[in-house]
Amino acid sequence: MRSVAMIWAVLALSGCAVGPVFTPPEMALPDRYARLEPVSRASAADMRWWQHFNDPLLTHLVDTAVAGNVGLAEARARLDEAAAIARRDGNRLSGDADLTLSDEASLGVSARIGLAGEQRWRAQGSAQRLEAAQFDAQAARRALLAEVGVAYVDLRFAQASLASRQQDLRSRKQTLDEIRRLLDAGAATQLDLLRAQTLVSETTTQIPALTADVLRQRNRISTLLGHPVGSLPIDLNYPGAQPKPAMREVRGVPADLLRVRPDIRQAERLYAAAVSDMGAAQAARYPSLSLRGSVTAPLDGGDRGGTFMAGLAMPLFNQPALAASVDIADARVNQAYLRWQRAVLAAIEEVESAQADLQASVAEQAEAAHLVNLNSNALDLSRQLLTNRGTITVLDVLDRERALSAARAGLARSQRDQAIDYIVLQTVVGHGHTLGDE
């Protein structure tokens, strides 16, 4: 009985672990962004930014991707692995058991319990890595949502570019027909005809590449949604408009990122796990309780017997190696803290840059739309003058067609940039990755 009491006393002492005390990392942050208005509450991690586009198809693509994306499934598998490791380390006792069969079955058992809480530190580190894996899964979802949104915007941009170029082709063929009539009437030259034919040919040669770009974007979406190319059961035909967000105002302060950015939360949990690893390394330098015993059960049904002994194991001769392990763990703690700092600084930079990009693309889109109107009116007027044999040349009309085509291409690209910049801003401030179900 005294030996059993001693064992329980030693086990109680093992709860008094030595080692570092984890303190959540801190960083001096500005009280506001340079371009965002501050608010008193954190950003909503479950804000569904894709619904700001008022596009049911985009919402459907997001839901389908979350259910079927292979990369996200891989992140969930990593989470399952971390959960299993945490369960193992939370219930594991160092030791082994051997079964020997002869005229009697003999079960030998040995175990080691670190008196300074080594196993507790390891279990705590595994639990913290499980939390990091949960944030890793959220980060994977965050990246996936942005990829789906950008791929959809790029698809619509490619389709709009193709439609615009097809419109250019029809317009230039119309101009070519008009020049042929003028040539028959003696009001145009053979050079004018060659210029118009060249413009039609240039436009025609650009259409195959644009068609291929549309197919590439379709393929990208299919892969993101977890479907083999060519098997996506979703209609992605062009509806005649590019995605345009409702431009909800984004507010917040840099400190919000520490709470809502999963990559920052993941880095913080990995830092905590590194501290636990250092605690385990320090605890390994202390004595451990050694438990040994055996149980015998004769196969002929005789009396059962057993022995049980306890002792202390002193790590005397490997102290230099154990001290080096502590130094290694301490260096890894410092690395993990610096990675957390780097993640915070990068996140603040991303928000500031994304806001600047969005403001620029909004202004560019407005000017691009105005430029299209100006060039469209100029082309209409030029054709009227050419038909009425006014003071204008065929070359002027062809130049107006080129200018209108370039303006339409610029408008389509600015609309694409605005939509993508909006997605990027919503993503970097930490919106949408939890979908309200974490």
**DSSP states of 106-161 as a string?**
EEEEEEEEETT-HHHHHHHHHHHHHHHHHHHHHHHHHHHHHHHHHHHHHHHHHHHH
Is 217 within 8 Å of 150 (Cβ atoms)?
A: no
CB atoms within 10 A of CB 335: 13
Is 307 within 8 Å of 293 (Cβ atoms)?
A: yes
Does 266 or 29 have the greater pLDDT score?
A: 266
Q: Are strands 94-101 and 104-114 parallel, antiparallel or unpaired?
A: antiparallel
Does some domain include residue 61? yes
Token reading at 337: 């803290």
CB atoms within 10 A of CB 190: 8
Host domain of residue 370? 35-92+116-285+324-428
**pLDDT over 70, % of the chain:** 80
Does some domain include residue 10? no
Residue 286 has pLDDT above 90, yes or no: no
pLDDT band at residue 374 using 50, 70 and 90 as cut-offs = very high
Q: What's the mean pLDDT in 318-326?
A: 90
> What is the residue-averaged pLDDT of the chain?
83
Does some domain include residue 303? no
Does some domain include residue 228? yes
Does some domain include residue 20? no
Q: Which residue has the tokens 């509450």?
A: 41
**pLDDT over 90, % of the chain:** 47
CATH assignment at residue 369: 1.20.1600.10
pLDDT band at residue 288 using 50, 70 and 90 as cut-offs = confident
Does some domain include residue 28? no
Quick: pLDDT tens for 411-420: 999 999 999 9
Q: What's the mean pLDDT in 14-39?
A: 69
Residue 97 has pLDDT above 50, yes or no: no
CB atoms within 10 A of CB 50: 24
Residue 20 has pLDDT above 90, yes or no: no
Quick: pLDDT tens for 209-252: 999 999 999 999 999 999 999 899 999 999 989 999 987 777 66
Q: In whole angstroms, give the CA distance from residue 114 to residue 88.
A: 17
Does some domain include residue 156? yes
Q: Is the dihedral of CA 424, 150, 221, 61 positive or negative?
A: positive
Token reading at 426: 């919503």
Does some domain include residue 395? yes
pLDDT band at residue 294 using 50, 70 and 90 as cut-offs = low
Q: In whole angstroms, give the CA distance from residue 279 to residue 349.
A: 34
Phi, psi of 389 (to 5 degrees): 55, 50
Residue 436 has pLDDT above 90, yes or no: no
- 3-class secondary structure for 364-383? HHHHHHHHHHHHHHHHHHHH
Q: What's the mean pLDDT in 87-108?
A: 58
What's the total number of domains in the chain?
A: 1
Residue 62 has pLDDT above 90, yes or no: yes
